[in-house]
Structure 1
Amino acid sequence: MPVRLIVASSLLLLAAGCDRTPPDPHAMRPDDAAVTSAGRKVYEQHCAACHGARLQGQPNWRLRDAAGRLPAPPHDASGHTWHHPDEVLFRITKYGVARAANLKDYDSAMPAYEGVLGDAEIVAALSWIQSQWPPEIRKAQREVDAAHRANAAKP
């Protein structure tokens, strides 16, 4: 293929808004069967003990325990996980609640998985969680995520 044709084709794609920007490596992929299959295994090994095998969370998850900590919330449609954008869910999982939310003195039983799980494993586990939500909850979370991304992109 002549070089001029390749350059012209590339310029047309760019002009049409079809740039080849790589996808966000931290974006959740609940429709990717390979990712969610791996994510289920990560969830079962690292998350289910607290958040439940069926994503149900711990009893009375909205009430602080004797130590002042909140029990593990559910990750199913009854919880608040879907109210958060992907980036926030990723940061909470990787860095823990206090660091992710910039709350220096926040005490949480939620461990930070930095150094325990790689970024791809965190994305996989969160993608599996999202894949378990009903369509209307997944749609609502995508809207939350899109709004967050739009606000983050503003100068």
Structure 2
Amino acid sequence: MRKSRWKTVGGGALTAGLIAAVSSGWYYSRPASSVRILADGIAQGRQVYADQCASCHGPDLAGQPDWSTPLPSGRLPAPPHDASGHTWHHSDEILFRIVREGTAAIVGGGYESDMPGFADVLSDAEIRAVLDYIKSTWPERERTYQLEVSRSG
């Protein structure tokens, strides 16, 4: 059942993500089978994002309005995951841990966040797929920066 669900994902975003990957050299030196796996992962991530993340972070990755201004609760609204946000400033390891464990668990020090951990909802592979989808939407500059942060972190 799950496999057929991923096949229903529209090709537009997948095509855009692959064009971005090609134009940035993101997949150069990868065998064709790896490129297909990457494309499948991005499509899966897009669907998981729509199912699990879009209600807070927006269907277009734009986040909640005034995302950098604290709410009356003192917590911050959900940030964007497009290039206008700060997601691309973080390494793959940190992004994975935030999704898996929740923001408060990673920040520590009594920090409060509405971002829950998804360890009981998403598999590690689904978390990686969501992150691959998000990264596939970024312009080359942001993808390159985030890749370097991930390599040096």
For normalisation by structure 1, the TM-score amounts to: 0.73
Are 1:145 and 2:150 an aligned pair? Answer: yes
Larger radius of gyration: 1
- In 1, Cα distance between the equivalents of 2:62 and 2:80? 4
1:78 aligns with 2:84: yes
For 1:36, the aligned partner's letter is I
Shift of 1:118: 0.5
Q: How far apart are the structure 2 equivalents of 1:107 and 1:100?
A: 11
Tell me the CA shift for residue 136 of structure 1.
Answer: 1.3
Q: Distance in 1 between matches of 2:47 and 2:109?
A: 31
Letter in structure 2 aligned against 1:96? G
What code does the residue aligned with 1:61 have? W
SS for the counterpart of 1:32 is helix
Greater share of residues in helix = 2
Q: Percentage identity across aligned positions?
A: 51
> After superposition, what is the alpha-carbon deviation per residue over 1:67-91, rounded to whole angstroms, capped at 9, x for unaligned?
0000000000010000000000000
Secondary structure, counterpart of 2:144 in structure 1: helix
2:65 maps to 1:56: no
1:123 aligns with 2:128: yes
Which portions of structure 1, spanning 4 or more consecutive aligned residues, are displaced by more than 3 angstroms?
Answer: none
Q: CA RMSD in A?
A: 1.4
Residue in 1 that maps onto 2:95: 89
**Residues of 2 paired with 1:116 and 1:56: CA distance?**
23
Structure 2 partner of 1:41: 47
Deviation per residue, 1:7-66 (Å, 9 max, x gap): xxxxxxxxxxxxxxxxxxxxxx9x810100000000000000110111100111111000
* Structure 2 gaps, min length 5: 1-34
> What's the offset of the Cα at 1:104?
4.5
Query: Which segments of 5 or more consecutive residues in structure 1 lack a partner in the other structure?
Result: 1-28, 149-155
Match of 1:16 in 2: none
